[in-house]
């Protein structure tokens, strides 16, 4: 068992963060927020790639296209309610991000192959499987 103070580890650096954040920001701003899901997925993949829980690396399995339809609806509702609907959107986005976060499965390939992940305690959403093969433990 890993000591409590070492259960969570993050190894991301400023250089890759800044580059990823700038790209995500530009994608969002130049499309007036319409392509926010693409920027969000960029940032979540970076976060997961550098995050470890109990020594297991995380992987983000969500796709921008998987969120895009919902985002367009939510964006429209936020515009017509002058931003009030954002109080409902923020928790939904957080839920979507966690539903699409999993552990890399080192028993299949110790050098991580995107085709082999293990669920992080969440099932598929609405019966839709992520675009990778899921291996149960």
pLDDT digits (tens, 9 = 90+) for 111-122: 554 444 544 444
What value does the mean pLDDT of the chain take? 83
- State residue 108's pLDDT score: 54
pLDDT value at position 51? Answer: 96
- Does 105 score more than 90 pLDDT? no
Label residue 60 left, alpha or beta by phi (over 0 means left) and psi (-120 to 50 means alpha). beta
Residue 122 and residue 99 in contact, taking contact as beta carbons nearer than 8 Å: yes
pTM of the model: 0.74
Phi first, then psi, for residue 56 (nearest 5°) are -100, 130
Least confident of 6-15, 20-29, 82-91: 6-15
Residues 6+ positions from 120 with CB-CB distance below 8 Å: 58, 101, 102, 103
Distance CA 136, CA 53 (A): 18
- Cα 85 to Cα 78: distance, rounded to the nearest angstrom: 5
């Amino acid at each position: 068992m890993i000591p409590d103070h070492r259960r969570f580890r993050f190894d991301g650096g400023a250089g890759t963060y800044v580059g990823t954040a700038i790209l995500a920001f530009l994608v969002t701003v130049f499309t007036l927020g319409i392509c926010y899901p693409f920027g969000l997925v960029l940032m979540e993949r970076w976060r997961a790639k550098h995050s470890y829980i109990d020594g297991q690396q995380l992987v983000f399995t969500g796709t921008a296209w998987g969120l895009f339809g919902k985002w367009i609806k939510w964006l429209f509702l936020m515009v017509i309610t002058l931003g009030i609907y954002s109080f409902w959107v923020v928790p939904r986005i957080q839920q979507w991000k966690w539903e699409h976060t999993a552990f890399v499965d080192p028993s299949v390939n110790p050098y991580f192959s995107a085709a082999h992940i293990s669920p992080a305690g969440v099932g598929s959403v609405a019966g839709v499987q992520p675009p990778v093969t899921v291996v149960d433990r």
